[in-house]
Every structure is written in structure tokens, then in C-alpha cells.
Amino acid sequence: MRFDILTIFPDFFYSPLREGIIRRAMAAGQVEIVVRNIRDFTTDRHNMTDDRPFGGGEGMVMKPEPLSLAIIAARNDNPGARVVLLSPQGCVFTQKRAAGFVAAGGLILVCGRYEGIDQRLIDRFVDQEISIGDYILTGGELASLVLVDAVTRLVPGVLGCGDSAACDTFSRGLLKHPQYTRPREFEGEAVPDVLLSGDHDAIRDWRLVASVRRTLSRRPGLLVGAGFDEREIKILQREGLWPEVEKAVNGGADE
């Protein structure tokens, strides 16, 4: 999996890409990340990447010429990659979209700045606009790091445990169950006995119930995409949770 990140602040990425799972994935050759300075593709002596908007208004707009040249260069080195603009106007980034990007095999991430990017560049060169949430950042750099991190951990072999990604929150439409580790008691609260029982079936059932309870409490709308088999339905019926789940699935619960 290869990422090309196009930015006017390449030093922004120096530390984040040298830590944790991303660093290990790069060292193992599982992902390749190239940061390109958009200013390297300017043609004026001031290396200008922005200008005033036609029609007036606040702020500046990123120029199409240097960005187009940067995208073309990235496409030459990363053929077949999807060009993604990080933008508050894009589709909201989800776990499902992260998995889809892994299948794409390569991404060119355009980090917007200022009041936006010339629309002609977007129309001609961008395959998809992605937002990481309904709020405004000073630029697309932080958003691109979020996307790189979320996608990288889904690349086969990157995580140490093969089931880690499959059990993540959002992978199924359920928030993940509570987790516990040593010590067995902390601040007067003990780890649930079932987790110490060694009974794997009981632990699995407890985690399902705990996960559903947490999802009902915090994000009931997610249950629409969860899907439950016959055994799970019986467990939730036994715990008295199934009516609430059905209500959420049928649209009776708000996010």
C-alpha cells in the first residue's frame, strides 16, 4: 500500500510517521509513504500556492497549477492510485471506507488549506473528497494522518494479531466491549468474574452483551448494520436486550 501526501507543510509529518505501527509498517515494507511539497511544483520565484478568490471574499484559494503538477508526479510514481482531497465538504470517513481504500492499493492525499482549492482542479484531478468530521481544521494535514493511520492498520499483516482489526469498534456496527487488565482490583472495583473463569463461550457471550449494552447507550443507530445470528439473538433475548435492539434497528432510537 502506497500513500503520496501532497502538502505545503511537509515537516508536519516528520514525527507522526516515525512512531508506532506506521513506522513498523514502513520498515517492514508493508506500506510506503511519500510526502511531497506542493511548493516544489510552483513556477514563480515566490513559490506561491494560493491567490485571492475571483468575485472577492475572505481568505485565499489554493491555485490549480502547482497542485495539478504535484498530482501528475504522484500518479506517475503511484499508478492506479485514487486521488483523495481532505475536505470538510467530503463524504464522512468511516471504517468501511478505510477498508475500501486498502483494496484500492494506493492513495494520493491532497491536503487543502485556506478557503479551499480551485474547483477546476477538483473537477479534473480529484476522485473523491473525504471529511473526518463536521468541524473545520486549519488544513488537511491532520485529516490525512487520520486516514493514513486508519487505513494502514487494515493492511494485511500490519497488526500483530490477525483478528485485531476484525474485532474493532465499527467493524461490525457495534462499539467494542469494555477491556480489563491487571490488577484484578482497582480503586475498589474488581474485574468481572466471567473474564477470569477461563470459560471461552461464557466470555464471548458476556462480551457480546456488554458490546450491545454500550452501543445502545452511546450509539444506538449503529445497530442497524450490526446483524445478529440466531444464537446471539437468543442471548440478547435472555438478557432482555432484544426489544431495545429491534427498536434501534427499526429506527426508533436516535444517534
Q: Is residue 50 within 8 Å of residue 62, measured between CB atoms?
A: yes
Query: Given this model, what pLDDT does residue 225 score?
Result: 86
What are the start and end residues of each CATH 1.10.1270.20 domain in the chain?
185-249
Phi and psi, residue 78, nearest 5°? -135, 65
The answer to whether the CB of 174 falls within 8 A of the CB of 211 is yes
pTM for this model (two decimals): 0.88
Domain with CATH 3.40.1280.10 in the chain: 2-152
Q: What is the pLDDT of residue 160?
A: 76
Q: How confident is the model at residue 251 (pLDDT cuts 50, 70, 90)?
A: confident
Q: Is the pLDDT of residue 4 over 80?
A: yes
Average pLDDT, integer, range 245-254 = 82
For the chain, where are the alpha helices, taking DSSP H only?
20-27, 64-77, 95-104, 119-125, 141-152, 200-218, 230-238, 242-249
Q: What percentage of residues in the chain have a pLDDT greater than 90?
A: 91
Mean pLDDT over each residue of the chain, to the nearest integer: 94
pLDDT of residue 164: 65
Tens of pLDDT, residues 219-243: 999 999 899 999 999 999 999 999 9
pLDDT at 205 over 80: yes
- The percent of residues in the chain predicted with pLDDT above 70, rounded, is 95
Residue 103: the pLDDT is 93
Residue 173 confidence (pLDDT): 82
Q: Kindly indicate the confidence band of residue 157, based on its pLDDT and cuts at 50, 70 and 90.
A: very high
Residue 170: its pLDDT value, please? 72
pLDDT digits (tens, 9 = 90+) for 161-170: 656 666 666 7
d(CA 200, CA 205): 9
Q: Which residues are catalytic?
A: 88, 115, 153, 168
Summarised one tens digit per residue, pLDDT across range 179-199 is: 999 999 999 999 999 999 999
Q: Which whole number is the average pLDDT over 26-45?
A: 97
Task: Tell me the sheet residues that pair with 6.
Answer: 36, 110
Q: Is the pLDDT of residue 95 over 90?
A: yes
Mean pLDDT along residues 55-68? 95
Per-residue pLDDT tens over the stretch 117-155: 999 999 999 999 999 999 999 999 999 999 999 999 999
Q: Which superfamily, per CATH, for 2-152?
A: SPOUT methyltransferase, trefoil knot domain (3.40.1280.10)
Is-cis flag, bond preceding 183, omega within 30? yes
Residue 108 has pLDDT above 80, yes or no: yes
Q: How crowded is residue 242: how many other Cβ atoms within 10 Å of its Cβ? A: 17
pLDDT of residue 172: 81
pLDDT average, residue stretch 90-102: 96
Domain at 185-249, CATH class: mainly alpha
